[in-house]
Structure 1
Amino acid sequence: MTILAVVFALAAALLHVYIWVLEAFRWTEPATRKTFGVSETDAPVLAPMAYNQGFYNLFLAIITIVGVALLGEQEDVGRALALAGTGSMLGAALVLVTHDRSMARAAITQGTLPALAVLFLLLSM
């Protein structure tokens, strides 16, 4: 179970690093605007918010990666950090879909890997 937890947690972290890149550095590019459903007119207005949100995603990824790194030496601390990171990612996906059902695809993309990581982290206890 621990191996699956590590794989899904790291995959979730990498996905959130990618989201950070999109939100913080590529926000106004056409492909990124299309991904997030943002118009060319709205993108510059939303850029400061997206930049900030991108760093939230990066910090969740860092917490998760540090947690996974500590699983071998300090298992309880590592599990707590990995659960904090992936649990927050999952929570954000749930907020997204419960606020706007049309965002279900984005929420599934954002939340599936963290959900599996949380499941396997809990099962490995």
Structure 2
Amino acid sequence: MLLILGSVFAALAALVHVYIFVLESVRWTHPSTRRIFGTSAEDAQVTKPLAFNQGFYNLFLAVIAVAGIVVALAGSAGAGIALMLAGTGSMLAAALVLILSDSSKARAATVQGLFPLVAVVLLVVALI
């Protein structure tokens, strides 16, 4: 049961990170995305290459978590949990770095880190 719940939260975390990928790598200079991140048109244009790269990091973390779900569902629970923990643990670590580097980003860090946190806790308990 804990593996299933952990997988659900890993999937939710992956979906959030795919959304972040779209914002950062595809829609970075769009007005609605600039409002979300609080950037001007000029700043968005200058930081576009950095955001593009960062978005792919988020996508890759989502892919790792989803790969773990698939592997676990295919019958290799240990390997699947390891992959899910690699993806969601990295997501959680990134959320912690965000809030520690800029406390005004607490809401964004919560959005980025809540599902991974729950997934990590559930998956670690599933291992015990």
**TM-score range normalised by the length of the shorter chain:** over 0.9
Q: Which amino acid aligns with 1:110?
A: Q
**Percent of aligned positions with the same letter in both sequences?**
55
Runs of 4 or more, structure 1, over 3 Å off, are none
Q: Deviations over 1:2-26 (max 9, x none)?
A: 1210110000001101110110010
Map residues 75-94 of structure 1 onto 2, 5 A cutoff: 75-94=77-96
SS in 2 for 1:27: coil
Partner of residue 76, structure 2: 74
Q: Distance in 2 between matches of 1:18 and 1:61?
A: 10
> How many residues in Structure 1 have an aligned counterpart in Structure 2?
125
- Which residue of 110, 113, 120 maps to 2:112? 110
Partner of residue 12, structure 1: 13
Structure 2 stretches of 5 or more lacking a match?
A: none
Structure 1 stretches of 5 or more lacking a match?
A: none
Q: Distance in 1 between matches of 2:38 and 2:88?
A: 25
Q: Distance in 2 between matches of 1:59 and 1:4?
A: 22
Q: Distance in 2 between matches of 1:45 and 1:17?
A: 23
Partner of residue 54, structure 1: 55
Q: Distance in 2 between matches of 1:107 and 1:37?
A: 15
Q: Which amino acid aligns with 1:99?
A: S
Q: Distance in 1 between matches of 2:8 and 2:84?
A: 12
Q: Distance in 2 between matches of 1:109 and 1:17?
A: 13
Q: Which amino acid aligns with 2:45?
A: P
Query: TM-score when scaled to structure 1?
Result: 0.98
Shift, 1:80, TM fit:
0.5
Query: TM-score when scaled to structure 2?
Result: 0.95
